[in-house]
Amino acid sequence: MKRTRIGGRRGAELSRKDFLRLGGAGLAGAALLGAAGCGGGGESSSGEVIFSWGPDDTGVLPKLIQKFNEQHKGEFQVRYREMPSDTGQYFDQLRTEFQAGGGDTDVIGGDVIWPAQFAASGWISDLSDRFTDTDAFLPGPMQAMTYDGKVWGVPWYTDSGLLYYRRDLLEQAGFSGPPATWEELKEMGLQTKQDTGTQLGFAFQGAEYEGGVCNGLEYIRTHGGEVLDPNDPSKVIIDSPESAAGLETWHSMIEDGVTTQAVLQYKEDESYGAFIRGDAIFLRNWPYVYALLSNPEESEITPDQVGVAPIPVSEGNQSYSTLGGWNFLINAASDVQDEAWEFVRWMTDPEQLKTNAIEGSRLPVRRSLYEDQEVLEKVPVARLGKEAIIDNATPRPVSPYYSDISLELAEQFNAALAGDVSPEQAVKTLQSDLQSIVEEGQAAG
Ligand code: GLC
């Protein structure tokens, strides 16, 4: 399947990429080449591979792309197309482009929650024949790339919710280690805030968006609740005392003054912003924040002031964190499938994953890297990752209707956090709304 751009979706507009691709088809004469200002130097007619992804706060991605391009001079080049940092907005933009016939991208840096939906819609390429060393990758991310018995993406890095804590401030307040339970987190946060004059006990992602869903799920699961029945994903089971208790604990973070009302709008940036400015004792965030701490231009605090621990539990329950992570998907409508694959293959070589781990503090997806001494030495989060984090990381519901499910979760979680609805009401509303989404989806599907 080819993208039809000229005279089609994009009208008469001729992008550099279209231009290079059409060059070989007789459209491009030398005069036109000059007129379009493409430079015309050196590149093959297969042109560029466009790679879409959100902004990279750690700066590692542009460096890797530059390295790839240097190694592939005279073959083809990769161009980074920056997408919104909010995964929901990024998803919406891609969906709109796919629905309009393909979109201006070849390789997609895609969220772990996307493959089922994109695959069910026929928007991404089945990679089962190309991607053969799947056993070398961690099972969680691989499971998330598998839908309908086929593999739709190559894992890039895996994310897992972590609890960052200010070791130095806790010590000043007389605490020797991180909290194991939510109750302890609250007590320690309030006490340390008072003793050290720190603004916030706890910063996290409470806004109405995907990150809020990831946080809310951690409270529900660490209280013994769940959204869909793991044995029968067409069955919604969120309406339980356990799920309600989870949302109650979440809301108590605001009610008891451990955090601020402003957390209702916090996404990743606002929450880690408070932490790296030195304004928060605890932070729930993803592994990459560790890399930001090591950069004095970004951070007022240094890694030695910070410890990392698993997400707390409620008494008698097990720790869970939400499995996140990013993966390479190939647009089914791209006309440079081979080049796209070459880029994906290169980016997921151990060497590149290692750079991403060491410089970007992103948890590697290849098992072998958890035995790599340099990674273990230089990436404290990876040391913690294997046992305490990866084993606890639980995917969000894998469903072709996930984006609709997520919108409902985001709304009710945020309202329950704010105290606008009771936790019991929130889980009741979700029970019936999610059941309708699943049933309507199945009926349509
Ligand atoms: C991180 C995770 C991703 C998640 C997002 C939510 O980027 O890797 O899976 O959806 O945060 O904000």
Q: Is 56 in a helix, a strand, or coil?
A: coil
The protein residue with its alpha carbon nearest to ligand 1, atom 2, reads 324
Distance, in Å, from the CA atom of 45 to the CA atom of 37, rounded to the nearest integer, reads 16
Name the strand (E) or helix (H) holding 134: none
Of 309, 196, 312, 328, which Cα lies nearest the Cα of 250?
312
Give distance in angstroms: CA of 211 to centre of ligand 1. Answer: 6
Our CA dihedral for 430, 433, 438, 443, rounded to 10 degrees, sits at 170
Per-residue CA distances from 312 to 130, 387, 394, 407 (Å): 40, 15, 15, 25
Q: Is the CB of 325 under 6 A from ligand 1?
A: yes
Distance, in Å, from the CA atom of 175 to the CA atom of 337, rounded to the nearest integer, reads 55
Q: Is the CB of 112 under 6 A from ligand 1?
A: yes
Q: Which two tokens stand for residue 254?
A: 């605001």
Q: Which two tokens stand for residue 210?
A: 């995907």
Q: Is the CB of 210 under 6 A from ligand 1?
A: yes
Distance, in Å, from the CA atom of 408 to the CA atom of 405, rounded to the nearest integer, reads 5
The protein residue with its alpha carbon nearest to ligand 1, atom 3, reads 324
Of 410, 405, 423, which Cα lies nearest the Cα of 241?
423
Q: Please report the atom of ligand 1 found closest to the CA of residue 205.
A: 12
pLDDT tens by residue, the chain, 445 residues: 332 222 222 222 333 333 333 332 333 333 233 223 232 223 334 589 999 999 998 999 999 999 999 999 999 999 999 999 999 999 999 999 999 988 889 999 999 999 999 999 999 999 999 999 999 999 889 988 999 999 999 999 999 999 999 999 999 999 999 999 999 999 999 999 999 999 999 999 999 999 999 999 999 999 999 999 988 888 999 999 999 999 999 999 999 999 999 999 999 999 999 999 999 999 999 999 998 998 898 899 999 999 999 999 999 998 899 999 999 999 999 999 999 999 999 999 999 999 999 999 899 999 999 889 999 998 888 877 566 667 778 889 878 889 999 999 999 999 999 999 999 999 999 999 999 999 998 887 6
Give distance in angstroms: CA of 110 to centre of ligand 1. Answer: 10
Distance, in Å, from the CA atom of 118 to the CA atom of 151, rounded to the nearest integer, reads 12
The protein residue with its alpha carbon nearest to ligand 1, atom 9, reads 324
Q: Is the CB of 111 under 6 A from ligand 1?
A: yes
Walk me through the domains of the chain, giving residue ranges and CATH numbers: 16-160+324-394 (3.40.190.10), 162-322 (3.40.190.10)
Give distance in angstroms: CA of 226 to centre of ligand 1. Answer: 19
Name the strand (E) or helix (H) holding 443: helix 423-444
Q: Which two tokens stand for residue 307?
A: 């410890």
Give distance in angstroms: CA of 224 to centre of ligand 1. Answer: 22
Strands 162-166 and 306-309: antiparallel
Q: Which residues pair with 307 in a beta bridge?
A: 165
CB 173 within 8 A of CB 182: no
DSSP state at residue 366: B
CB 158 within 8 A of CB 141: yes
Q: Within 13 Å and on the Cβ side, how many CA atoms surround 235?
A: 6
pTM over 0.85: yes
Q: Is the CB of 206 under 6 A from ligand 1?
A: no
Give distance in angstroms: CA of 435 to centre of ligand 1. Answer: 24
Rg of the Cα atoms in the chain: 23
The protein residue with its alpha carbon nearest to ligand 1, atom 4, reads 324
Q: Which two tokens stand for residue 313?
A: 């539990």
Q: Is the CB of 211 under 6 A from ligand 1?
A: yes
